[in-house]
């Protein structure tokens, strides 16, 4: 079962947490692609471009097309743990699966693996996983549930009561 659903079908707590996190992120995306872009950019500490980009008069080697509409390639994979540790063997297997999923290892072209945990992972683990992922051409980011809540709250204006309500409900779930 790969679809994100409103009604839980998972028995394992980490899958339940992952589904709820994806529901919340999808809700923000549907509300505003710019909001989710800023949330993910702040969590991953790297500039992301979500959605279409419109440009005019793009100079090439031999010509200047009048317009260009693009969408950056981006793939974000997530591994969720309800505690504060990630299994490095499992992360290695994910890196192998990412290479199979994309037809090649990531090339630093927007392939990201997020380790989502309740507590921050140990700095030594974060550095080791970051280096291992980089060797596979994947960006690794260790993110906590509370960081997601903080980033989402930061994107909500005071008048956006519905969005704030969803964030508060998610926080309560956690």
Helix (H, G, I), strand (E, B) or coil at 131: helix
Between 82 and 107, the more confident residue is: 82
Lowest mean pLDDT among 19-23, 43-47, 51-55: 51-55
Average model confidence (pLDDT) across the chain: 84
Tell me the percentage of the chain whose pLDDT exceeds 70.
88
CA distance 146 to 118: 7
Q: Which residues contact 47 (CB under 8 A, 6 or more apart)?
A: 41
pLDDT at 76 over 70: yes
What is the spatial distance between Cα 23 and Cα 170, in angstroms, rounded to a whole number? 10
What pTM, to 2 d.p., does this model score? 0.78
pLDDT in tens, 60-71: 676 666 677 777
pLDDT in the model for residue 119: 92
- The residue among 10 and 50 whose pLDDT is bigger is 50
Rounded to whole angstroms, how far apart are CA atoms 144 and 131? 19
Give the per-residue pLDDT at 63: 60
């Amino acid at each position: 079962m790969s679809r994100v659903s409103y009604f839980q079908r998972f028995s394992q707590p980490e899958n339940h947490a992952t589904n709820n996190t994806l529901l919340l992120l999808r809700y923000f995306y549907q509300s505003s692609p710019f909001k989710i872009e800023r949330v993910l950019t702040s969590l991953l500490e790297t500039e992301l471009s979500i959605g279409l980009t419109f440009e005019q008069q793009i100079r090439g080697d031999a010509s200047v097309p009048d317009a260009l509409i693009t969408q950056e390639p981006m793939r974000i994979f997530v591994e969720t743990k309800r505690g504060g540790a990630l299994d490095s063997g499992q992360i290695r297997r994910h890196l192998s699966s990412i290479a199979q999923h994309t037809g090649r290892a990531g090339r630093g072209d927007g392939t990201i693996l997020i380790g989502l945990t309740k507590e921050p992972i140990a700095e030594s683990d974060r550095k080791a996983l970051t280096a291992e992922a980089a060797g596979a051409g994947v960006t690794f980011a260790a993110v906590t549930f509370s960081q997601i809540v903080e980033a989402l709250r930061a994107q909500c204006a005071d008048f956006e009561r519905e969005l704030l309500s969803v964030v508060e409900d998610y926080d309560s779930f956690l």
